Structure 1
Amino acid sequence: MLSRRAKITLLVLGIALLTAGCSAANPNHPLPINPNGGIWDRYIVFPLSWLLQRSAETFGGSYGIAILIVTILVRLVILPLTIKQTKSQKKMQELQPEMNKIKEKYKNDPQKQQQEMMKLYQLHGANPLAGCLPIFIQMPILLGFYHAIIRTAQIRQHDFLWLQLGAKDPYYILPVLAGLTTYLQQVIMMRYNPAMGDNPQMKMMTYVMPVMIFVIAISLPSALSLYWVYGNIFTTIQNYFLYRNRDTGAAPKGGVSK
């Protein structure tokens, strides 16, 4: 299990990456990609941009299709991490009844409560942080793909369907689709994860997130909204297959000492 210092380091690293990403990939004034620049551009953004350009060449110069192809490829690359994260979440969900018993039994003794929690985790091979680590690994990849889309000049100059990829959707169709697919993604998660469904905050986010995505997508170039829609559809299908066979009522064998 990671130490407190390691957890803080990972959190700071994630925030730093996100902050750097937002400044470099400003949709209105994106910085050009420097293939000979630092680690970020050279090893993450430039390869993804190159892949987008080669995909477009393969499909008749269509960057709309190129974004779809690379979105699928990127999501497939990080799929093992997603599966690991899902398994960890499932394990923690199965342990939830035992964890609640420990909390109730030792509610006046936090130190003993923590000790019994650690015993429970060790007994069942669970790690509360295992579900978080894949997120930190996925973050640079997804953020790098965001960079590649917004900072590849050729994308901003191309059309796809009714869209000018470098401009906002004039009919707001993509922002609406982005909001709807975000909602569908949340509903699938809630349906197959009762623990989330019982959380009032999660229920509220099911409705708040789609509205936020819609509002943000209105002002973004269509290329990014298209990426969101593609990504949401992939994630919705992925979550359906990952969560549909989960036995949410299963209780772990063995328990805490009485």
Structure 2
Amino acid sequence: MDTIASLFSFITWPVSWVIVQFHKLYGAIFGDDTGWAWGLSIVSLVVLIRICLIPLFVKQIKSTRNMQVLQPKMKAIQERYKNDKQRQSEEMMKLYKETGTNPLSSCLPILAQSPFFFALYHVLSSIASGKTIGVIDQPLLDSARQAHIFGAPLAAKFMDSEDKVAALGASLTDVRVITAIMIVLMSASQFFTQRQLMTKNVDLTVKTPYMQQQKMLMYIFPVIFAVMGINFPVGVLVYWLTTNVWTMGQQMYVINQNPTPGSKAQEQYLGRLLKSVSTHGQVRGRTRRNTVKRVVAKGPDRNDIERKFITGLAKLGLAAQEDGTVTKSDAAVLEAEGGAAQKRQQPKRQTKAKRQTHTGAGAAKEAGADETASRTSLTKQDTPRDDKPKSAGRSAASGSSRQAKSGQRKGPQRPKHPSKK
């Protein structure tokens, strides 16, 4: 670790200068040699760095979402050119270029923080060794070595020997308890940040190997930080815990205000937005208007959550506009209220006993109709016949009656040809 930190020694002077400036501020309040003055100086360094990295964080969010959207297309390219790796790489780069996606953008905040992290580690290691570094001269070095955070020296480590810890004016038990608590909090904050990203801010309609990899990293990263944390000085643990808490809060804000389309967070966000519109009758806030504007611009490409939101507005008698506002619409009311009434009502499903009852009643009716027809036919047969010659039509009717009695096809029959009589 010391070798890696020495590679970033060029930035140790700016880092040490920033810490010293914050130390002057907090030293005037809490005292120069207190752990609060030095600890809050490190926390303020983290906040300053993370504020400067907000644009990179925004790019990270956009890149992560674009990667999630492109996963099905990337999988199709891999399957299509699985035997031609060169063509596969070319098609991937072409896809990235067309969509404006940079796979490395998701790692930019971590890469940008790395120089400051290792520079701070180098500064704290020098303080533990009793060496001046950057703008930290001998008086500031002595003050930093006397600073304790809840009984643990700023430059002490979990794996330090008892003699080394005693030289810093502390006990080994206090150092290990404080560092262990910080390591647990650091790993837990890392896990929670990744977990809320996977459970709330991921498009649930996209099922790709990328999602499985993210789930694995959700459990691997906290273990890595826990193993590495035992070799970090207390001051570095303060830095890393602070940056994890900042990331967690930043992630929660993004999830609540700008969720990924198709995710559970988007469903909750649009539900809150619909409730706000129903209460105030308008879209309040520029961020919310931008959200409505994006939903309207998608048109038929909206997902189920966005369609549900538009339907909810219609039920309120409102219609979303292209500028992100909503207006009253009589057509939306008729569509919402009359649409359900105009739907064809499905017949009520009957039980098996009722179906059997209706079937039996129908059979009885048919039997009664056949019996009535039979009686009518017998009545007609009982009437006296006329001796006059019958016409061809009456002969055909008589023939059809006789055929009906014998079980043949009912109805008027075709008269026979004269040659076949």
Q: TM-score, normalised by structure 2?
A: 0.45
User: 2: CA distance between counterparts of 1:117 and 1:216?
Assistant: 35
Quick one: which of 74, 82, 87 aligns to 1:99?
A: 74
Which residue number in structure 2 is paired with residue 69 of structure 1?
A: 44
Matched, 1:21 2:4: yes
Matched letter for residue 242 of structure 1: V
> What is the CA distance between 1:96 and its match in structure 2?
1.6
SS of structure 2 residue aligned to 1:198:
helix
- Cα displacement string for residues 168-222 of structure 1 (whole angstroms, at most 9, x for unaligned residues): 43423222222222222332333324678832x5434433432343344345432
Q: Distance in 1 between matches of 2:226 and 2:92?
A: 41
Change (3 A) 1:221 1:45: same
Q: Aligned-pair distance for 1:146?
A: 3.0
Residue among 178, 187, 195 paired with 1:179: 187
Q: Structure 1 residues 104 and 246 mapped into 2: Cα distance closer, same or farther (>3 Å)?
A: farther
Q: Is the 8 A contact 1:52 1:70 kept in 2?
A: yes
Instruction: Give the TM-score normalised by structure 1.
Output: 0.69
Q: Percent identity?
A: 33
Unaligned runs of 5+ in 1: 1-17, 25-38, 254-258
State yes or no: 1:121 paired with 2:96: yes
1:49 aligned residue: 16
Corresponding position: 1:246 with 2:229: no
1:236 maps to 2:248: yes
Would the aligned equivalents of 1:49 and 1:149 in 2 still touch at CA under 8 Å? Answer: no
1:197–1:96 Cα change, 3 Å: closer
Opposite residue 160 of structure 1, the aligned amino acid is: I
**Which is higher, the Rg of structure 1 or of structure 2?**
2
1:5-62: CA deviation from partner (whole Å, max 9, x where unpaired): xxxxxxxxxxxxx77434x4xxxxxxxxxxxxxx954x51112112112212211331
Partner of 1:30: none
- The answer for the alignment partner of 2:280 in structure 1 is none
Kept in 2, the 8 Å contact 1:94–1:249? The answer is no
Q: Secondary structure at the match of 2:102?
A: coil
Contact conserved, 2:121 with 2:236, CA < 8 A, in 1? Answer: yes
Report the equivalent of 1:6.
none
Alignment check: 8 A CA contact 1:174 1:229 kept: yes
* Residues 177 and 136 (structure 1), Cα distance of their counterparts in 2 relative to 1, 3 Å cut: closer
* In structure 2, distance between residues paired with 1:197 and 1:214: 25
Q: Distance in 1 between matches of 2:84 and 2:176?
A: 60
1:84 corresponds to: 59
Q: Is the 8 A contact 1:85 1:130 kept in 2?
A: yes
What is the one-letter code of the residue matched to 1:222?
V
1:189 counterpart residue number: 197
CA distance in 2 between counterparts of 1:203 and 1:170 reads 31
Matched to 2:66, the amino acid is K
Q: CA shift at 1:104, angstroms?
A: 2.9
Aligned counterpart for 1:225 among listed residues 209, 228, 237: 237
The two structures, once aligned, show a CA RMSD in angstroms of: 3.3
2:287 maps to which residue? none
Amino acid at match of 2:101: A
- Measured after TM superposition, the shift of residue 234 of structure 1 is 0.8
2:197 aligned partner, one-letter code: M
Q: Is the 8 A contact 1:175 1:217 kept in 2?
A: yes
**How far, CA to CA, are the matches of 1:92 and 1:77 in structure 2?**
24
Which amino acid counterpart does residue 147 of structure 2 have in structure 1? Answer: H
3-state SS of the aligned residue for 1:246?
A: coil
Match for residue 36 of structure 1?
none
Structure with the bigger RCO (C-alpha within 8 Å, sep 6+) is 1
